[in-house]
Amino acid sequence: MTWSTSKLNTRKYNNISLILILLYIFFRQHPVVHYIVSFELKSSVIILLYNWEFFRMKQRLENPSFKPTKDHILAALDNFVDILKIRYSSPLFRLTTASDIEQRVHFHNTGPSLVPGVIIMSIEDARNDTYEMAQLDKNFTCVVTVFNACPHEVSMEIPDLMSMELQLHPVQVNSSDALVRQSAFDSTTGRFTVPTRTTAVFVEPRC
């Protein structure tokens, strides 16, 4: 029976891991053995996980139904271009100092009540009636990005952002992606609604 290189490597790392586990069981009290085995076990686990993920990916890529069509490729390109347009639409997405980041960037949906799979990030600029920070953006006073990695739509309220006049970014309003165009914000409740596996960007126009 012949073995491919990847199979041989996987088998070798399986055997090494077994030996290391046995060493750890019998000699775990010895500080040197404990350190070496712990380090090697972590390395072996990383390698095994990598090989396993590669094997799973290879199986999926060999599935004909996973082959992208021309429409898929063009849609991915359109989405990539939209992200670039959004990034360059506001200097708030390109902060250059640590103090600016600390002062302006805030993460919501945190703490014990957080919704897994959702990141909500806001970046603030100086408002017309306050001078706590320098004004960077002549068009927007705040931008909010919602990353929804869930396999379902999310709808959640962020009290800190309630009453803000946020609206979907103009680039995404005109996007060819029909899914992202469904993203919405209700200022009366501070509720964001974002479709499955979608990144939506909201902006508050400067008055």
How many domains is the chain built from? 2
pLDDT for the residue 59: 74
pLDDT for the residue 57: 72
Residues 99 and 139 in one domain: yes
Residue finishing a domain among 48, 66, 84: 66
pLDDT for the residue 63: 81
Residues 172 and 156 in one domain: yes
Residues 53 and 83 in one domain: no
Residues 62 and 75 in one domain: no
pLDDT for the residue 46: 52
Residues 74 and 167 in one domain: yes
Residues 30 and 82 in one domain: no
Residue finishing a domain among 20, 45, 66: 66
Residues 46 and 75 in one domain: no
CATH number of the CATH domain containing 83:
2.60.40.1180
Q: What parts of the chain have a pLDDT lower than 50?
A: 1-14, 20, 22-30, 32-37, 39-40
pLDDT for the residue 50: 57
Residues 61 and 75 in one domain: no
pLDDT for the residue 37: 45
Residue 12: domain span: 5-66
Residues 96 and 49 in one domain: no
pLDDT for the residue 52: 64
Residue finishing a domain among 66, 86, 101: 66
pLDDT for the residue 54: 66
pLDDT for the residue 156: 95
Residues 31 and 133 in one domain: no
pLDDT for the residue 36: 45
Residues 98 and 158 in one domain: yes
Residues 16 and 32 in one domain: yes
Three-state secondary structure of the chain: CCCCHHHHHHHHHHHHHHHHHHHHHHHCCCHHHHHHHHHHHHHHHHHHHHHHHHHHHHHHHCCHHHCCCHHHHHHHHHHHHHHHHHHCCCHHHHCCCHHHHHHHEEEECCCCCCCCCEEEEEEECCCCCCCCCCCCCCCEEEEEEEEECCCCCEEEECHHHCCCCCEECHHHHCCCCCCHHHCEEECCCCEEEECCCEEEEEEEECC
